[in-house]
Amino acid sequence: MLVMFVGVDRTETAVNPTQVTFVSSVTDGTRIRFGEGRSVTVTEPIAEVLDSLNRALRPHE
């Protein structure tokens, strides 16, 4: 399942929550890191990002 966010450049960004390795708060919003040094910064606050990622990982609850 993919989770949609808004990137800092206002583009829609789809994230596969199973590939996320680290999430941190930055000046522009929230940075979501993946393996191999890849990352994306989104405008949503970290609490909202974590909630969305966690819900996607538990779709049957």
**pLDDT tens-digit profile of 7-36?**
999 999 999 999 999 999 999 999 999 988
Say whether 59 sits in a helix, a strand or coil.
coil
The predicted model scores a pTM of 0.89
Domain count along the chain: 1
Structural domain boundaries enclosing 39? 3-57
Pairwise CA distance, residues 4 & 13, whole Å: 6
Structure tokens at 56: 């996607």
Please determine, for residue 5, whether its predicted confidence score (pLDDT) is greater than 70: yes
Report the pLDDT value the prediction gives residue 61, as an integer from 0 to 100.
Answer: 62
pLDDT score at 32: 97
